[in-house]
């Protein structure tokens, strides 16, 4: 086996969007000199926010550069490049009300880009935190446009309470927003296509209102009443030192919550096959990942890319991961 198929520890790009807070630096030790720090793009090949490899052999190269040099890391299933983007999001204030296109629309009207299907996993939320998920009732394009113009859009939106551990799957065309008080992991297609419908008339650091994308949003938005999202049935499966549960399955990704709790000498094993890579995002705790004669410590907030056909990894520690398969 290629001895380069070792796990890659990643360093993110940060985003200082005006609605962000300080938790990603304070609680996840990101060390990014931005205030606010709204998002960290933990596993990304997107040019708007690449992640970087920390491992000595590839140090300071972008993940995109490494994967272009070593296409075998992606696995035989992924001949069109790395398909995902994984973020931490700290919403100190409400995000804009927005909608994303699907693959077909994006390919046709956005220079062949991917659409944006996404999933949110709530790491923490204040007592009164909510998110916007679709519309409370059917609405016409004319009504929607008038509501945006009149600043009355919020009365048509469905507000859903959120709590720690919740999971939400956001399909393209769903009008949505993360609201103040939520700390979230977002797992999505590798896309940065966001069409803003409404931004509360806020002024950015340059004294300007942020751009809206009303016509494109109207082209892709689903204008029928949304079903209130329900939490998926989750079943923890146990084995020695490890438990896991499926959080979300779509055609783009599967996401599991994996809990590691090993004794002094106990470890659990983890591997990939030749079909695809996996990504481990540590959301709680710490420990050590060993492979061959090498090892790396991991901590809360760390993101680790595991190449296809990797060495057998052994994990020791007390931690929780989001275990992402594509």
Q: Active-site positions?
A: 196
> What stretches of 19-64 adopt beta strand conformation (E)?
39-43, 52-53
Distance CA 188, CA 118 (A): 4
Strand-pairing partners, residue 290, are: 295, 314
Count Cα neighbours of 20 within 13 Å in the Cβ-side half-sphere.
22
Q: Tally DSSP H helices, then E strands, for the chain.
A: 5, 21
Distance CA 295, CA 7 (A): 10
Task: Quickly list DSSP for 278-296.
Answer: EEEEEEEEEEEEEETTEEE
Q: Helix (H, G, I), strand (E, B), or coil: what is residue 263?
A: coil
Strand-pairing partners, residue 209, are: 203
Query: Token pair for residue 65?
Result: 């550069």
Backbone φ, ψ for residue 264 (5° rounding): -55, -45
CB 174 within 8 A of CB 155: no
Distance CA 186, CA 196 (A): 18
């Amino acid at each position: 086996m290629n001895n380069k198929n070792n796990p890659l520890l990643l360093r993110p790009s940060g985003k200082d969007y005006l609605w962000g807070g300080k938790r990603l630096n304070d609680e996840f030790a990101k060390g990014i000199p931005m205030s606010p720090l709204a998002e960290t793009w933990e596993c990304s090949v997107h040019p708007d926010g690449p992640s970087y490899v920390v491992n000595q052999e590839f140090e300071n190269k972008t993940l995109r550069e490494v994967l272009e040099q070593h296409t075998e890391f992606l696995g035989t299933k992924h001949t069109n490049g790395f398909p995902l983007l994984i973020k931490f999001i700290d919403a100190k204030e409400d995000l804009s009300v927005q909608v994303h296109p699907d693959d077909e629309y994006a390919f046709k009207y956005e220079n062949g880009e991917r659409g944006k299907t996404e999933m949110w996993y709530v790491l923490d939320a204040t007592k009164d935190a909510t998110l916007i998920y679709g519309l409370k009732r059917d609405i016409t394009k004319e009504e929607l446009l008038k509501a945006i113009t009149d600043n009355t859009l919020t009365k048509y939106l469905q507000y859903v309470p959120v709590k720690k551990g919740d999971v939400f799957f956001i399909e393209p065309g769903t009008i949505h927003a993360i609201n103040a008080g939520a700390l979230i992991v977002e797992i999505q297609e590798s896309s940065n296509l966001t069409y803003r419908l409404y931004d509360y008339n806020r002024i950015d650091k340059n004294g300007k209102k942020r751009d809206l994308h009303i016509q494109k949003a109207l082209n892709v938005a689903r204008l029928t009443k949304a079903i209130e999202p329900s939490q998926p049935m989750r079943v923890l499966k146990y084995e020695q030192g490890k438990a896991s549960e499926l959080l979300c399955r779509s055609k783009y990704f599967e996401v599991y919550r994996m809990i590691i709790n090993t004794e002094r000498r106990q470890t659990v094993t983890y591997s990939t096959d030749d079909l695809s890579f996996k990504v481990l995002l540590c959301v709680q705790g710490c420990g050590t990942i060993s492979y061959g004669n090498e090892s790396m410590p991991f901590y809360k907030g760390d993101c680790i890319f595991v190449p296809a056909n990797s060495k057998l990894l052994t994990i020791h520690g007390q931690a929780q991961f989001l275990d992402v398969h594509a």
